[in-house]
Amino acid sequence: MNPLLQPFDTAPFSKIQNEHFKPAFLQAIEDARAEIDNITNNPSEPSFENTIKTLDFSGQQLDRISSVFFNLNSAETNEEIQKIAQEVSPLLSEFSNDITLNPALFNRVKAIYIQKDQLKLTVEEDTLLDKKYKSFSRNGANLSEEKKKRLREIDADLSKLKLKFGENVLAETNNYEMHLNDENQLDGLPEGEKEAAAQLAESKDKEGWLITLDYPSYIPFMKYAKNRALRKKLSLAFGSKGFHNDELDNQENILKIANLRHERAVLLGYKTHAHFVLEERMAETPEKVHEFLNELLEKAKPAAEREFKQLEDFAKELDGIEQLQKWDGSYYSEKLKQKLFDLDDEKLKPYFKLENVIAGVFKVAEKLFGLKFEEVSDIDTYHDEVKTYKVKDTNGNLISLFYADFHPRVGKRGGAWMTSYKPQYIKNGENVRPHISNVCNFTLSTPSKPSLLTFNEVTTLFHEFGHGLHGMLANTTYPSLSGTSVYWDFVELPSQVMENWCYEKEALELFATHFETGEIIPMELVQKIKESATFQEGMATLRQISFGLLDMSWHAADPSKITNVKDHETIAFEDTILYPKTIETCMSTAFSHIFQGGYSSGYYSYKWAEVLDADAFAYFKEKGIFNKEISTKFKDNVLSKGGTEKPMILYKRFRGAEPKVEALLERAGLLQK
């Protein structure tokens, strides 16, 4: 019996075998096709109820199977799962095309869309109708049969290429190890990091120490290791993922993805892939994105150049470094930060035991939104490291289930993300509550110390938890408008705004206690955290702008003339370069956000959302960071509303006005005094 084909509430991870997936997909696709046939064969006149609403609630079992499978492919993958992903992705693309290119279905949707003004729909119903119509028109419903056929071919190819791109990046990350046998080579590394490196080596039956390209291993080495040659070696390995002209090389994959995306957009009547994507974003056009990035560039570049010169002078004075290189940046930045603020992660980490930070983010959510998190052990998980919680409101009503998976391991891709195993929606009078997951890659515990987070890891946890809240507090009728189903340049607002609480004394006092003594973090350290928050903000902003510009360079123009990935990237980065160029490295070949994830033509949205979050948090600061009135307005107008209305309407309802870019520039210290 296939557990994926039985009705299930929580995902039945322990019962699922790999061989269950493909048959489950095939059956669920067949069942979903039958649901679509029921809509198109309905003899009644098309109505919102019998077409739009029924369509939105169709294919729910397929969606659940997909969420379980693709989350496992990110958090607990292996060669067999990756092979299944390559087999089922084209099937899912084909099925998706079968819906959007189904003329009978489109005709029913179109018939309702044409008379929408007479239908007296609610705001949410109107948004859903608009979204459904565009899902057809933006995906080829108005094309000729010949062009529809080509669109299907493109989508099938893209689904495979994006998977292959991600698999190559993961393999490159997993394949690299820097094996050290001389403890002097780890000079500068804090004891906890040395211990972690020794533990990693031991886990692989090796003597000495292992450093890998996983962030908890890579970042501390780049930040603390005195050995410049080893920093260079590790930096070049990290920066050259997918750029070795071997079987894991991603250059050809990138060129194919970029060209297929462009061809697809042109086929649909758009100038470029970016024009296609941005039509459904707050930014609206590539021109507006470039205008936004260039405005930030103008403000950030002078600050970045001043900061870089300060760093160069510091490295030269400290160690006689004549030419600062990329592999020197983190090391000397950390040293300079310690000098300027007498602050480093090693002083902070004892106050950020993982369990305490988790309890802290829960406490913040309770004070803001009245949520209670209760850890439970009766929910099935895919790995014994995954923790599960029931989330309830102040009246004891179930709001959500929450899964938390916080440590790196083989088979888990790098980075951090929020995902959903079950969406929220209202059906037959029942408000079905969501199942939400946060997946991260945080520092592991060692024999002598628990998992102690860097401050950056603390802000990452709060960030992903913000996405989680967006999913947990969803309160909409239709699943496709629920939770994080919003414009991509709005989706980062809930996550980025949550990071602000990490810098506030009132919030830190709730959870930042020394793991050995229980002492609350000293206020002078809190003050230093706040003072150092804008340290090298110009350089950090320039870096984010460079990624946004690189993304637009691939997607806002015809890529057919691009023959050399590295040369193209070099031109895209021209206005944002601080460090000397390195011929061995290439950003694009491991830029998973835009070539595997959903950020193509959307990387700018991180900075865009920072404007929103800086403006939003200024409102909290003005009224009090735990002000109930403001947090309720944020919950009711942003977190619970999903994609039921245009983001700017929701934001203005919360804030009373459009956001001001000055809020971000002021917070980042980029406004000239």
Contacts of 198 (CB under 8 A, 6+ apart): 208, 209
Contacts of 128 (CB under 8 A, 6+ apart): 52, 53, 56, 478, 480, 481
Which region among 113-122, 183-192, 525-534 has the lowest average model confidence (pLDDT)? Answer: 525-534
Contacts for 281 with CB less than 8 Å, ≥ 6 apart: 487, 488, 489, 602, 605
The number of angstroms, rounded, from the C-alpha of 236 to the middle of its chain's C-alpha atoms is: 25
> Burial, 550: exposed, middle or buried (Cβ in 10 Å; 0-12, 13-18, 19+)?
buried
What is the mean predicted confidence (pLDDT) over 270-276? Answer: 98
- Is 464 known to be catalytic? yes
Residue 672 has pLDDT above 70, yes or no: no
Contacts of 115 (CB under 8 A, 6+ apart): none
3-state helix, strand, coil split of the chain in percent (to 5) is 60, 5, 30
Q: CB-based contacts of 673: which residues, under 8 Å, 6+ apart?
A: none
Residue 532, φ and ψ in degrees, nearest 5: -85, -5
**What is the CB neighbour count within 10 angstroms for residue 519?**
12
The token pair that represents 158 in the structure block: 């893209």
pLDDT in tens, 323-343: 999 999 999 999 999 999 988
The vertex-279 CA angle with 277 and 283, nearest 5°, equals 95
422 to 62, 65, 232: CA distances (angstroms):
11, 10, 44
Cβ atoms < 10 Å from Cβ of 436: 31
| Residue 656 buriedness (CB in 10 A; 0-12 / 13-18 / 19+) | exposed
Calculate the average pLDDT of the chain: 95
Q: Report how far residue 453's alpha carbon sits from residue 476's, in angstroms, rounded to the nearest whole number.
A: 35
* Confidence band, pLDDT 50/70/90 cuts, at residue 481: very high
User: DSSP character for 415?
Assistant: S
Q: Which residues pair with 373 in a beta bridge?
A: 391
Pairing of strands 435-439, 398-405: parallel
Catalytic residue among 167, 193, 457, 464: 464
CA distances from 500 to 1, 321, 497, 635 (A): 48, 36, 6, 16
pLDDT tens per residue across span 56-94: 999 999 999 999 999 999 999 999 999 999 999 999 999
Domains in the chain with CATH codes: 3-142 (1.20.1050.40), 176-231 (no CATH), 242-341+534-625 (1.10.1370.10), 350-511+627-658 (1.10.1370.40)
Q: What is the pLDDT of residue 59?
A: 96
**Does the structure show a pLDDT above 70 at 673?**
no
Report the share of the chain in percent with pLDDT over 90.
92
CB atoms inside a 10 Å sphere around CB 517: 8
Which is nearest to 427 in space by CA: 101, 60, 31? 60
Structure confidence at residue 671 as a pLDDT band (50, 70, 90): confident
Three-state secondary-structure class, residue 501: helix
Task: Give the mean model confidence (pLDDT) for residues 453-477.
Answer: 97
Element (DSSP H or E) covering residue 467: helix 455-472
> What is the Cα–Cα distance from 526 to 64, expressed in whole angstroms?
43
Mean pLDDT of 501-524: 95
- Give per-residue pLDDT as tens, 87-134: 999 999 999 989 998 999 999 999 999 999 999 999 999 999 999 999
pLDDT of residue 423 exceeding 90: yes
What amino acid is encoded at 301 in this protein?
K
